[in-house]
Amino acid sequence: MRINRGADDTVRQSCVRTAFPPLPTTAVRRRFAFMKRLALIAAAAVSLAACADEPMGPVNPTAYAPAAAGGSASVFRDEDFGWSTGVGNGSIAGTLGFRTNSARYSCQGGDVILLPETAWTRRRMVILYGSPAAAAVPLDIVRARTPSAPSGNYARYAKRTTCDAENHFGFSALPDGAWFVITIAKPVDGAGDPFAVMRRVETRGGQKFVSLN
């Protein structure tokens, strides 16, 4: 039997065109654009999934990363304070900005204390002020908490200055390190309770500005 191969190929091609009719040019372009959008959406989903494991925004809003306080938290040791006796290029320019809804406060003529941070003084701040970073606590409450705070001869390492008439104060020639700035804020008109105001600050050379709020 003789096979007509030309006729067979014609039938085969006709079947292919019937099963898969050619798409118009416009339809091809639209389908290509659609597939491209699907690919972009898939890529974006993968990127978002990867970002989900990363923290969004700063973990700590504070402006600096606190330095680790060295030494013993339970035992007062002079060697833990040794770094603070050096002379450096750091300085602190501060002001009292503490206010309440009913009164204005001032530190005029009062002492401002600069206490070196160690593990021991950090623990003391937490007991007295409820925070190792910043706090304003009624003075009577701080005094009532004092017996439960660790004791030691830390006063020899504390630096002192006087708050002026504009509620400004300053320290100079400070070595690099972390400190607690403490003062007493008294109501200007005499009505109201005084507050003990504390704030942690770091010196890394140059001048550091701080407001006790």
Q: Are residues 28 and 96 in the same domain?
A: no
DSSP state of 116: E
Q: For the chain, what is the domain count?
A: 2
Is 62 inside any structural domain?
no
What is the extent of the structural domain holding 22? Answer: 5-51
Per-residue pLDDT for the chain (213 aa), expressed as one digit of tens each?
444 444 444 444 444 344 434 444 554 455 556 555 555 544 444 343 333 333 333 333 333 334 445 688 989 999 999 999 999 999 999 999 999 987 899 999 999 999 999 999 999 999 999 999 999 999 999 999 999 998 899 999 999 999 999 999 999 999 999 999 999 999 998 888 999 999 999 999 999 999 999
- CB neighbours of residue 121 within 10 Å: 27
CA-wise closest residue to 108 among 20, 32, 187, 213: 187
- Give the distance, in angstroms, between the CA of residue 117 and the centroid of all CA atoms in the same chain: 18
186 CB-near residues (< 8 Å, 6+ apart): 105, 106, 107, 110, 194
Q: Are residues 99 and 161 in the same domain?
A: yes
Q: Are residues 92 and 134 in the same domain?
A: yes
d(CA 182, CA 72): 22
- Please name the amino acid found at residue 28: V
Contact 76, 150 (CB under 8 A): yes
> Which pLDDT belongs to residue 74?
85
